[in-house]
Amino acid sequence: MNMRPEIEEILNLVQKPARYINSELNSHKPDMSADFSVCLCFPDIYEVGASNLGLEILYHLVNEKKLARCERAFAPDSDLEQILRERKFPLFSLESNSSLKSFDIVGFTIQCELVATNIVNMLDLANIAIFSKDRKEDDPLILGGGPALTNPEPFCDFFDFFILGDGEGALPLVIEVCRNSKKLSRKDLLKKLSEIDGVYVPSFYSVEYNEDSTIKSVTAREGVKPVVKKALLNLENAYFPKKKIVPYVQTVHNRLNIEVARGCPGQCRFCQASKYYRPWRERPIEKLVALVGEGLESTGYEEVTFSSLSCSDYKHLDKLLIETNARYGDSKLSISLPSLRCNEHSLRVAQYINRSKRPTLTFAPEAGSDRLRNVIGKYLSEKEIAQTLLSANAMGWKVIKLYFMIGLPTETDQDLAAINTLVRLVRKEAKGLSFNITVSPFVPKAQTAFQWFPMASQKSIKEKIDYLNKILPATVKAHNHRASILEAFIAKGDRRVAGAIYKAWQKGARFDQWADKLGNDIWSQALQESGLNLDFFVYRVIKQDEVLPWDHLHFGVSKAELYADYVKGINETSDAVAGQFTRSNSLLPQDYVEPVNSVVLPVMRMRLRFSRAGAVKYISHLEQIEVFRRAARRSGLPVAFTGGFTPQVKSSYGPPMSVGYESFAEYMELYFTEKISSNEVIRKMAKVLPEGFKITEAKRVPLTFPAIDILTNVAEYEIKNVSVSQQELDEFLSQDKIIIVKNKKGKDIEIDAKPLIVSFKSEGGGLKLLLKFGNGKTVKPESILAKLLENNKNYGTMYLVARTNLYVQASNGNLYIP
Ligand code: SF4
């Protein structure tokens, strides 16, 4: 799909334009004739947001069921933000490049509290009034949803409404109400929406404060139901997309993600996610097995992850893994499980993942001692943990990642020391096993049993981290504690916190969730100017009878039940003495056979020439390789695989082309385990390639020939939108040297490009450049153009470069097409 020219112009100026293009595989073409539109926004960069499961489920659901035209937008990085502001160009959606302001609903997923300033920034960049009270009748409705909204109050001033709970149930109803109520005023429409389960319209509630700054009351406007109950979905028959989007850019979860269950049967008293997604619901195994097949066929992914907050609790997990291995093992599939409980059952299921490779295994004991784990509701004994780690070691795992929290309610020095005891106990028995330990400060969250508890002071957190760093015989990674404090401030804040968020944004706060971008001074000033006291929100023990900012929102457990659980937790005294554990043998069942990663040798090699045009010209060389590897997997062709722990489609590629330029001379070589005709290869690859790529030729080459990137050494480029006469070119070429400065690993190096220029001609209103490359001396055509045009008054106009041919130059100087 083509992009708007003004957006193309902008994308040519940013560092990673592929973040903002619109034609990823399995994304939807926008139906511009639809009478209702929704833009789903992720307030972080594309790499973080593109694989967010919640957003993707809603995106496909709305489009496939034709409820509305549904598109996506992600937070622009600072380079794009700067250009948008300079050009006064509004933030746009990916699919149709439409301004966010033109949508009927703009929805944000709020996965963590620290994205608050990014949301404000995206609204501002879209020219949408930041505060809901300032929005006009025809402005889009701003919707929020996501697990950080166990307390939406700090976000209330920016949003028109929220969906609390599962979006798949509530969003279709919201769209239906909006579509059928186009004549209603904004206020009346919101009133109608507030009747849907899980919909919370904050402007219908007023908050009064006591003199000591605590909340006196939260009152619903007359006629508005006083308690908002979160939306709940029955997962048995729930929608799940069969064709997942395959991003061009390397994202944080670049694999097929299938959700096996939602919620968590665990009872951890600190856990916000399990409260938001409560109760535990499972998808039927038959559906999951089918989804794996459909997902692999439509994406070409080489890895599937079975996700849930606690996937080892999924009752058919063993069966699901065995079935997946049996059906798809031949396609060199690897399986990952992101959240395993620290017990031997998890190890039994872990044997089916990643086969002979035994990568890092991750567990989260959270606290060091049995007593403290009882306090937090993570009922797991030291004996059980140690036994599990030893068994993991016996099964071949060499690195264990452990997650702990510090500053937990009732935590003592002994509890911290117990982390050290546990690690040393296991290390003594399991020689060769090493640990990576991550510690994060405990952040109290709304709707959990620990919502009344304060956060540990910055000083004490720092001391605890220093102590663990000193005593632990392992690498210790500490989560940025300043970010945790800010997270606690927003997580437990009330509506007044919006003022500080707004001020921080005005002062330049963006991407606060990224340790290197969090500006502490900015936030201190913002707090000061908004008259808020951090200690009041973060470091105060809240009294039992105090009105909490989120009391009027119901997540399935009453405040009285939560308080009883809180009291039970902090009074846990059981300090089970660690039992004896024995060095374990492998837990593999008797009949388990470790699958062998057999490599079938290729019998044929085919060289494919292809072109790239349109939005895909913005993807990098490595991203393009990934596109073709996955396309080859999807094609059904008998492709050969490499050996090793992570088998890949055996292939090689031509030299890289700069991001942003079209090419008619890209090459890929594919190896096959069976003989096959070139027509069939073209036909099958054409079916599965994303829009913008086109195979133009396929020919058989001997298996032993050098790879295409070694063989070729001259490239031909056509340069348009630039006017230079042949005389000027000849003068340019008549110089003794044409020095180009390249930056390599931070160092400037000079290259004389003159010997690399085979010819440079003015032809057909443009330029034609033949350029040698290889042998460690490669210069980009745009660098030569920049040099040519450095004193030209037209320099700075947008020129277009396209690679038109690649050649092999023989020793006699003749050029051959490979
Ligand atoms: S096991 Fe994990 S997801 Fe479940 S309640 Fe405990 S911390 Fe939350």
C-alpha closest to that of 465 among 482, 485, 487, 441: 441
- How far is the C-alpha of 698 from the C-alpha of 818, rounded, in Å? 11
Query: What values do phi and psi take at 781, rounded to 5?
Result: -60, -35
Q: What distance in angstroms lies between residue 266's CA and the mean position of ligand 1's atoms? A: 5
The single residue listed with the structure tokens 């963590």 is 112
**Which stretch of DSSP H or E encloses residue 790?**
none
Distances, alpha carbon 532 to alpha carbons 213, 434, 447, in Å:
10, 45, 23
Residue 184: phi and psi, rounded to 5, are -75, 150
Residue 584 has pLDDT above 60, yes or no: no
pLDDT tens column, 625-675: 999 999 999 999 999 998 877 788 999 999 999 999 999 999 999 999 999
Confidence of residue 361 (pLDDT cuts 50, 70, 90): confident
Does the pLDDT of residue 198 top 50, yes or no? yes
Q: Are 757 and 736 in contact (CB under 8 A)?
A: no
Residues 644 and 7: their CA atoms lie apart, in Å, by: 43
- The whole-number pLDDT of residue 392 equals 86
Residue 272 Cβ inside 6 Å of ligand 1? The answer reads: no
Q: Confirm or reject: Cβ of 443 under 6 Å from ligand 1.
A: no
Give the tokens for residue 445: 């969250």
For ligand 1, the distance from its centroid to the CA atom of residue 273, given in whole angstroms, is 8
Atom from ligand 1 closest to the CA of residue 264: 4
Position 595 scores a pLDDT of 61
Exposure string of 678-706, with b = 16+ CB inside 10 Å and e = fewer, is eeebbebbeebbbbbbbbeebeebeeeee
Q: Which of 268, 314, 448 to mutate to test the pocket of ligand 1 (most atoms within 8 A of CB)?
A: 268
Answer whether residue 245 shows pLDDT above 60.
Answer: yes
More confident residue, 326 or 668: 668
pLDDT exceeds 80 at position 587: no
- Reply yes or no on whether the pLDDT at 585 is more than 70: no
> Is residue 290 within a helix (H) or strand (E), and if so which, with residue range?
helix 285-299
Q: How far apart are CA 153 and CA 792, in angstroms?
A: 57
CA of 442 to the centre of ligand 1 (A): 14
792, pLDDT greater than 80:
no
Q: What percent of the chain has pLDDT over 90?
A: 73
Ligand 1 atom with minimal separation from the 377 CA: 6
pLDDT tens digits, one per residue of 104-134: 999 999 999 999 999 999 999 999 999 999 9
pLDDT at 801 over 60: yes
Which runs of consecutive H residues, i.e. helices, occur in 436-516?
Answer: 458-471, 481-491, 497-506
pLDDT, tens digit, 9 for 90 and up, residues 267-312: 899 999 999 999 999 999 999 999 999 999 999 999 999 999 988 8
Q: How far, in Å, CA of 813 to CA of 471, rounded?
A: 67
Among left, alpha and beta (phi > 0; psi -120 to 50; other), residue 694 is: beta
CA of 271 to the centre of ligand 1 (A): 6
What residue spans of 603-658 are helical by DSSP H? 621-635
Whether 380 is in the pocket of ligand 1, judged by its Cβ within 6 Å, is no
Distance CA 170, CA 772 (A): 59
For ligand 1, the distance from its centroid to the CA atom of residue 275, given in whole angstroms, is 9
Atom 4 of ligand 1 has which residue's CA nearest to it?
266
- At 748, the pLDDT band (50, 70, 90 cuts) reads confident
Distance 503 CA to ligand 1 centre (A): 34
Compute the distance between CA of residue 218 and CA of residue 664 in angstroms, rounded to an integer.
64
**Average pLDDT for 744-765:** 89
Ligand 1 center–CA 258 separation, angstroms: 19
Residue ranges of domains in the chain? 5-229, 597-711, 712-817
Q: What is the pLDDT of residue 583?
A: 54
Atom of ligand 1 nearest to the CA of 271: 8
Ligand 1 centre to CA of 366 (Å) is 10
Q: Please report the pLDDT score of residue 644 as a whole number.
A: 75
Residue 509: count of CB within 10 angstroms of its CB: 25
Q: d(Cα 205, Cα 226) in Å, to the nearest integer?
A: 9
DSSP 707-744: PHHHH--EEEEEEES----HHHHHHHHTSS--EEEEEE
Q: Tell whether ligand 1 has an atom less than 6 A from the beta carbon of residue 342.
A: no
pLDDT for 145: 97
Closest by alpha carbon to 761, among 732, 800, 735? 732
Q: Is the CB of 271 under 6 A from ligand 1?
A: yes
- What confidence tens digit (pLDDT) does each residue in 604-620 have? 999 999 999 999 999 99
Pick from 158, 147, 27: which is nearest to 93 by CA?
27
Sign, CA torsion 536/537/543/548: positive
Q: Give the closest residue (by CA) to ligand 1 atom 6.
A: 268
> Which of 309, 385, 405, 445 for mutating ligand 1's site (highest number of atoms within 8 Å of CB)?
309
Q: For residue 374, how far is its CA from the centre of ligand 1 (angstroms)?
A: 13
264 lines ligand 1 (CB under 6 A): yes
- Give the pair of three-digit tokens for residue 483: 């970010």
Say how many Å lie between the CA of residue 484 and the centre of ligand 1: 19
Query: Does the beta carbon of 448 sit less than 6 angstroms from any atom of ligand 1?
Result: no
Going from the Cα of 493 to the center of ligand 1, the distance in angstroms, rounded, reads: 23
Across 170-184, 298-312, 422-436, 701-715, least confident range: 422-436
Per-residue pLDDT for 728 more than 50?
yes
Q: What is residue 354's predicted lDDT score, i.e. its pLDDT?
A: 59
Which uninterrupted H or E stretch holds 215? strand 215-220
Residue predicted with more confidence, 193 or 233: 193
Tokens describing residue 420: 């050290």
Range in 393-402, 502-511, 571-580 the model is least confident about: 571-580
Tokens (6 digits) for 608 = 């494919």
Over residues 196-224, the mean pLDDT reads 95
Residue 267 alpha carbon to ligand 1 centre in Å: 7
User: Average pLDDT over the chain, rounded to whole?
Assistant: 91
Which residue puts its alpha carbon closest to atom 3 of ligand 1? Answer: 309
Give me the pLDDT at residue 580, please: 54
Tell me the CA–centroid distance for residue 202 and ligand 1, in Å: 29
Separation CA 610–CA 474 (nearest Å): 50
Best probe residue, ligand 1, of 259, 271, 565 (max atoms within 8 Å of C-beta)? 271
d(CA 761, CA 395): 65
> Per-residue b/e over 375-411, b at no fewer than 16 CB within 10 Å?
bbbbebbbbbbbbbbbbbbbbebeebbbbbbbbbbbb
What would the DSSP string read from start to end of 503-524? HHHHTT---TTSTTT--HHHHH
pLDDT at 682: 96
Q: What is the mean pLDDT of residues 453-474?
A: 94
Rg of the chain, C-alpha, whole Å: 29
Ramachandran sector of residue 480 (left: φ over 0; alpha: ψ -120 to 50; beta: rest): beta
Q: How confident is the model at residue 490 (pLDDT cuts 50, 70, 90)?
A: very high
- Specify the residue with its C-alpha closest to ligand 1, atom 8: 271
Tell how far the Cα of 444 is from the centroid of ligand 1, in angstroms: 14
63 versus 333: the higher-pLDDT residue is 63
273 C-beta closer than 6 A to ligand 1: yes
Q: Ligand 1, from 262, 269, 310, 376: best to mutate by most atoms within 8 Å of Cβ?
A: 310
Pick the CATH number of 5-229 from 3.40.50.2300, 3.40.250.10, 3.40.630.30, 3.40.50.12780: 3.40.50.2300
Token digits for 117?
A: 């300033």
C-alpha dist (Å) from residue 525 to 350, 493, 517, 530, 531:
49, 17, 16, 8, 10
Residue closest by Cα to atom 1 of ligand 1: 266
226, amino acid identity: P
Q: What are phi and psi of 160, to 5 degrees?
A: -85, -35
Nearest to 648 by CA among 676, 679, 618, 625: 625
Burial class (CB in 10 A: 0-12, 13-18, 19+), 811: exposed
729 lines ligand 1 (CB under 6 A): no
Which CATH fold topology does 597-711 show?
Alpha-Beta Plaits (3.30.70)
Q: What percent of the chain has pLDDT over 70?
A: 95
Q: What are phi and psi of 694, to 5 degrees?
A: -145, 125
- The region of weakest confidence among 69-78, 81-90, 180-189, 312-321 is 312-321
Looking at residue 797, its pLDDT comes to 55
Find the 334 Cα to ligand 1 centroid distance in Å.
Answer: 25
The CB of 268 under 6 Å from ligand 1? The reply is: yes
Would you call 330 helix, strand, or coil by DSSP? helix
Whether 568 shows a pLDDT value over 90: the answer reads: yes
- The mean pLDDT value for 344-351 works out to 81
- What lies within 8 Å, CB to CB, of 66 at 6+ separation is 31, 34
**pLDDT at 589 exceeding the cut of 70:** no
The string of DSSP codes covering 35-88 is S-EEEEEESS-HHHHTT-HHHHHHHHHHHHTTSSEEEEEEPPPHHHHHHHHHHT
Closest-lying ligand 1 atom to the alpha carbon of residue 339: 2
pLDDT grade, residue 1 (50/70/90)? low
- Report the largest interatomic distance among the alpha carbons of the chain, rounded to a whole angstrom: 91
Cα 111 to ligand 1 centre (Å): 16
Query: Which among 124, 129, 123, 126 has a CA at the least distance from the CA of 97?
Result: 126
Q: Is 340 in the pocket of ligand 1 (CB under 6 A)?
A: no
Q: Grade residue 216 by pLDDT with cuts at 50, 70 and 90.
A: very high
Report pLDDT for 475: 82
Return the SS3 of 693.
strand
Region of poorest pLDDT, from 140-144, 160-164, 288-292, 812-816 = 812-816
Distance 306 CA to ligand 1 centre (A): 16
Tokens of 175: 């769209």
CB of 90 closer than 6 angstroms to any ligand 1 atom: no
Tell me the C-alpha to C-alpha distance, in Å, between residue 453 and each of 54, 174, 396, 537, 684: 30, 36, 41, 11, 60
Q: How far is the CA of 268 from the centre of ligand 1 (A)?
A: 6
> Cα(263) to centroid of ligand 1, in Å?
9
Whether residue 602 has its Cβ less than 6 Å from ligand 1: no
Are 467 and 418 in contact by the 8 Å Cβ rule? The answer is no
- Higher per-residue confidence, 621 vs 427: 621
Q: What is the pLDDT of residue 578?
A: 46
Residues linked to residue 71 through DSSP beta bridges, in sequence order: 39
Q: Which residue has the tokens 């949508």?
A: 103
pLDDT greater than 80 at residue 575: no
Q: Cis check for the bond before 17: say yes or no (omega within 30 of 0).
A: no
Ligand 1 atom nearest 265 alpha carbon: 4
Burial of residue 103 (CB within 10 Å: 0-12, 13-18, 19+) is buried
End-to-end CA gap in the chain: 30
Q: Which atom of ligand 1 is nearest to the CA of 309?
A: 3
Cβ atoms within 10 Å, residue 232: 17
pLDDT of residue 577: 47
What does the alpha-carbon distance between residue 672 and residue 600 come to, in Å, rounded to a whole number?
9
